[in-house]
Amino acid sequence: MARDYYEILGVARDADEAALKSAFRKKAMEHHPDRNQGDGDAEGRFKEVNEAYSVLSDANKRAAYDRYGHAGVNGQQGGFGGGRGGAGFDNVEDIFSEMFGDIFGGGGRRPQGPQRGADVRFDYEISLEQAYTGADVEINVPTTLTCEVCDGTGAKAGSKPQTCHTCGGQGRVRSTNGFFAVERTCPTCNGQGQVIKDPCTNCRGHGQVRADRKLNVRIPAGVDDGARIRLTGEGQAGTRGGPKGDLYIFLSVAEHDLFERDGLDLHCSIPVAMATAVLGGNIEVPCLMGGAGCDGQCKLEVAIPEGAQTGHKVKIKGKGMPALNGRQKGDLLVELFVETPTRLNARQKELMREFATLAEEEQNSQSQGFMKKAKRFWEDITGAAAQ
């Protein structure tokens, strides 16, 4: 799957041209295969850097990429190369041709056969309810499609691409100057090996067009932040008859007004009247039931024990999130916080004073423990001051 171009170059999204060029040269030198002997992935990283710079250094491509991601620039650059009019380079040698004057020869050529389309990343946010029950959603994905007018050839109907006369279809030209052999991308066909004399008016010679695709996607129950759904063959169109890439949907779960998720468990804070906390009783709490077996009310009755304190938790087994692709379910943890009344009438205040007088004779365990610790603290302070 294609990585973010700004991440590849290690620059901020508002980086200017000078910062881009500086980062590009640094990364290109760092990942050059000749400086990473024995590292089979070096050339791949080098080409990633080249591709990223070829897009971000072009104002139009960069604007399209910022808006649509990789789908916005597909067809404007060829694979890892700079493409038609791009600012990038086509292979390992081209970067040194740019920086050091084309004194390095050799190297391969751009692939001529069918090439697989790029993978596409699509971020999608779902609700906690959708994550709990699963859901069928419709998404609009910006991507590239094979041009139906020219069938992906890029040439106008009745014509076809012709072999480049400059490079003979090789995509590269070579010249010698004394002891030096210089090989570079063919300037006529930009390394394609073919030229389009009469381009298709629909795709302007690219063989692909940008469009939004509507797809129906099943979100399985139990998904969490970062879950990934792969749709094979729903990515960008391939070139020269190559297969499509894949679509990767990255899910994020929106914050909920009532519940917080912790793995499979759900947490919910519930206010409890002071009288209920003191005397005990039953309260109703919300739950994410939904789906089969839901009574439509999505609430449960919970027993509050006498003398319940703020922070007391009640566990309701099996009312949490379902496990992805499993039968296990988490728990619903209800945390109580006791509400202190703020607007009392005269009679209520009289009763509270009477209650306070009676309560002075019987402190609860927390009060007794606190007072003992406070007494020791004050004795230590006064003792130290006396010395």
185 phi/psi in degrees, rounded to 5: -65, 140
Name the residue among 246, 225, 195 with its Cα closest to residue 2: 246
Contact between 231 and 102 under an 8 Å Cβ cutoff? The reply is no
Distance between CA atoms of 27 and 54, rounded to whole angstroms?
14
Identify the weakest region by mean pLDDT among 8-22, 102-116, 311-325: 102-116
Report the pLDDT averaged over residues 35-53: 83
Say which residue, 192 or 76, is predicted with more confidence.
Answer: 192
Alpha helices (H) along the chain: 5-9, 17-31, 42-56, 59-68, 92-100, 128-133, 274-279, 346-359, 365-386
Q: Which residues make beta-bridge pairs with 284?
A: 301
| pLDDT at site 241 | 76
Q: Does pTM top 0.75 for this prediction?
A: no
Separation CA 236–CA 4 (nearest Å): 16
Summarised one tens digit per residue, pLDDT across range 239-289 is 777 888 899 999 999 999 899 999 999 999 999 998 898 899 998 888 886
Lookup: tokens for 257: 């007004």
Share of the chain above pLDDT 90, in %: 19
Report pLDDT for 360.
Answer: 65
Residue range 338-360: average pLDDT?
85
Digit-coded pLDDT (tens) for 121-178:
899 999 999 999 899 999 999 888 888 888 888 888 888 888 888 888 888 888 776 6
- pLDDT higher than 50, residue 187: yes
In angstroms, rounded to a whole number, what is the distance separating the alpha carbons of residues 182 and 204?
Answer: 32
